[in-house]
């Protein structure tokens, strides 16, 4: 069974990994936008015009998930320990 210190460390590393993934994927999208849009539209059959909206929704949902599932519990545990 995990104690609070181990759980806090686990959530901290989850936060680091998820935030890194979010920043890297956002950076790659900024740098290689046209290439990624053409690849994704061919892969999933989504029109090129709707992909920027889908990317924005993806990043917004991922960020909310990281905040709710990693950041908030991590801060709460840090205040307890």
For the chain, which residues make up each domain, given as ranges?
A: 4-80
Say how far apart CA 32 and CA 18 lie, in whole Å.
21
Q: What is the CA radius of gyration of the chain?
A: 17
Average pLDDT over residues 4-14: 96
Helices 4-31 and 51-66: crossing angle in degrees, nearest 10, is: 160
Residue 1 has pLDDT above 90, yes or no: no
Lookup: tokens for 49 = 């015009």
Give pLDDT tens digits for 14-57: 999 999 999 999 999 999 999 999 999 999 999 999 999 999 99
User: pTM of the full predicted structure?
Assistant: 0.87
């Amino acid at each position: 069974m995990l104690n609070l210190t181990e759980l806090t460390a686990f959530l901290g590393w989850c936060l680091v990994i998820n935030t890194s993934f979010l920043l890297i994927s956002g950076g790659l999208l900024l740098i290689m936008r046209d290439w990624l849009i053409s690849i994704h539209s061919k892969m999933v059959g989504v029109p090129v015009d709707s992909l920027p909206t889908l990317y924005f929704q993806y990043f917004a949902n991922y960020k909310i998930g990281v905040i709710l599932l990693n950041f908030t519990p991590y801060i709460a545990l840090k205040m307890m320990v």
